[in-house]
Amino acid sequence: MIDDEKRKTFYALNDMRQFKFRLAIEGVVVGVFVGCIIGFYRFCLEFIAHNRSALFEFFKVNNPVYLGGWVVVLLCVAWLIDRLVKFAPLSGSSGIPQIKGSIMGIYKTNWWKIIISKLSGCIMAIGAGLSLGREGPSIQLGGMAGQGVSRFFGRSRMEERCLISAGAGAGLAAAFNAPIASVMFTMEVLHRTLSPIVLLPTLVAALVSTMVSHAIFGRGMIFDIPKLILMTFDVLPHMVVLGVFIGLAGVLFNKAMVNGGKFYELSFFKNNFMRYLFPLLLTIPIGFLLPEIMGGGDAMIVTLISRNATIRFLVIVLVGKFIFTMLSAGSGIPGGTLQPMLVMGALGGYIYGAICIKMGILPVYYLDNCIVFGMVGFFAATVRCPLTGILLILELTGSFMQLFSLCLVTLFANTTAEFFHSEPIYDVMLRRSLVKDKKINPDVLVKPGTRNVMEIPIESGSMADGKLIKDIAWPENTLVVGVKRGGFDIVPGGNTRLMAGDYIYMVVNTKAMSDIRKIMVKE
């Protein structure tokens, strides 16, 4: 088995051009597969969300016995989700930390079990009204679809990582009709590096899955925001303040997400069934009193654009959305947090803009700008991936004239989060899941002695820049098997001089991967 894995990896690296061509073809297959899965997922969620408000209107005017029947339904939903998560333990929670772990080799996953469990669990949980989004599950569903394609064709572990990444990007693209941002998300969030062999199949899969999504749902934008007015230089200082304000909100959100799970450590919550049932039952009073905070929150963005709400009401909605998202995500029930984060950012941006307008220091026609900039700032402060946030909002809104203002808000939101040492939320969630998993040593990502194929670029000014391979103090048992410089492949030897921009392919002990990065990346 190990020898077969080595053979597959060797042949892939030996003919990189043919390997990339094969990845591109497989990216098409992954894109179609993922597009169909996410298309079905989106259709179910949109159908349920469209009829959820009618259900509560029915409860208001009819015999309370019907409401009692709905409680029984929620009990059954909690039980079913509990059984599904036991069937596939990695199908719980957001899905993004789990897919990062799958790419890194931390988790051994059964792709079809996770697809069945995640798809069914999210439709029930989000459909019931929990404050969760479709993006995290879409990323995990896509990643597992990519793994399924890899297993079907019998690919190597190295190639499987590429297809999991391609599927994850395709999942986000199909969920939000944002292929370019999805590719950047894969590079910036899942890999933390720009890998050419991951980039190609991810781009192909994202474009194909978006085409499938367009065929099902049309080519419209996810958020129907009118054309934004280009901001003049005299109001740009407001964007600096908005960036700091949204950045602080993002820091608070991350801290709440990290510590929110402690609520479910109370003795009352004896098992996962009780944890899942609590937020599900909360949807009943929320559905009557504040239905705006239920579900992902797409309708809330429309409300903001239409100006059909007061500042006081929106503050209540923001606080309610914040708390209900903590309770929903903290339970570990299947569902994502990115969509609620975008909604909270939009609410924060609207509130800030409306206050400035009432004070007479900001023209009223810039309020839509504040909504959009709040979304991207909150994303940057929580996920800590500013480029992905900018591209995502540009594609979601279809407005490409606000790039400078977007960058300004993103810069200060991200800097604020950096100042308060707020870690990327999905990295924190992955680390916490490892600590909770008794089968995995929390001090290491994989078992000692595990070998892995690593691809990493050499940054200008790093320890490896300009040095001969033999002169670098490599970690023990590290083997450099390939160097790619521009469009050329170099067979490495001790006297091969490495240069900035080279991509190095190595077989390494997984424990030494962080030491390798220190050599290749400029501190």
CB 98, CB 134: distance < 8 Å: no
CB 386, CB 246: distance < 8 Å: no
CB 219, CB 43: distance < 8 Å: no
Question: How far is CA 31 from its chain centroid?
Answer: 18
CA distance 297 to 133: 8
Q: What string of H, E and C letters represents the secondary structure of 4-38?
A: HHHHHHHHHHHCHHHHHHHHHHHHHHHHHHHHHHH
CA distance 161 to 371: 37
Q: What CATH number labels 233-268+280-435? A: 1.10.3080.10
* Burial group, residue 362, by CB count within 10 angstroms (0-12, 13-18, 19+): buried
User: Tokens for 443?
Assistant: 């001090």
From 463, 477, 485, 489, select the one nearest 513 (Cα to Cα): 477
| Residue 82: CB atoms within 10 Å | 20
Q: What CATH number labels 2-217? A: 1.10.3080.10
Instruction: Estimate the crossing angle of helix 403-419 against helix 367-383, to 10 degrees.
Output: 40
CA distance 460 to 40: 46
Residue type at 90? Answer: L
CA distance 186 to 204: 13
CA distance 119 to 101: 19
User: What 3-state class would DSSP assign to 57?
Assistant: helix
Interval 205-235: pLDDT, tens: 999 999 999 998 887 666 666 677 888 888 8
CA distances, 269 to each of 265, 327, 353, 357 (Å) = 7, 13, 41, 46
The long-range contacts involving 431-437, CB below 8 angstroms and separated by at least 24 positions, are 432/258, 432/261, 433/93, 433/97, 433/98, 433/101, 434/101, 434/106
Its CATH architecture, for the domain 446-520, is: 2-Layer Sandwich (3.30)
CA distance 262 to 265: 5
* Burial group, residue 62, by CB count within 10 angstroms (0-12, 13-18, 19+): exposed
Do domains 2-217 and 233-268+280-435 share one topology? The answer is: yes
The DSSP output letter for 228 is P
CB 168, CB 186: distance < 8 Å: yes
The DSSP output letter for 482 is E
User: What 3-state class would DSSP assign to 58?
Assistant: helix
Sorted by where each begins, the domain ranges of the chain are 2-217, 233-268+280-435, 446-520
Interval 33-62: pLDDT, tens: 999 999 999 999 888 888 888 888 888 888
CA distance 299 to 55: 17
Residue type at 181? Answer: A
For 405-438, letters b (16+ CB in 10 Å) and e give bbbbbbbbbbbbbeeeebebbbbbbbebbbeeee
Render each residue's pLDDT in the chain as its tens digit; 523 residues. Answer: 455 656 666 666 666 778 888 899 999 999 999 999 999 999 998 888 888 888 888 888 888 888 999 999 999 999 999 999 999 988 888 888 888 888 877 777 889 999 999 999 999 999 899 999 888 899 999 999 999 999 998 887 788 888 999 999 999 999 888 899 899 988 888 877 777 788 899 999 999 999 999 998 887 666 666 677 888 888 889 899 999 999 999 999 999 888 877 888 888 888 889 999 999 999 999 999 988 888 887 777 767 766 667 889 889 999 999 999 999 988 889 998 888 998 999 999 999 999 999 999 999 888 888 988 998 999 999 988 888 888 887 887 666 777 888 889 999 999 999 999 888 888 878 777 766 665 444 444 444 445 677 788 888 888 888 899 889 988 887 888 888 887 677 888 888 889 888 888 888 877 777 788 888 886 6
Interval 57-79: pLDDT, tens: 888 888 888 899 999 999 999 99
φ, ψ (nearest 5 deg) of residue 503: -105, 125
| Residue 336: CB atoms within 10 Å | 25
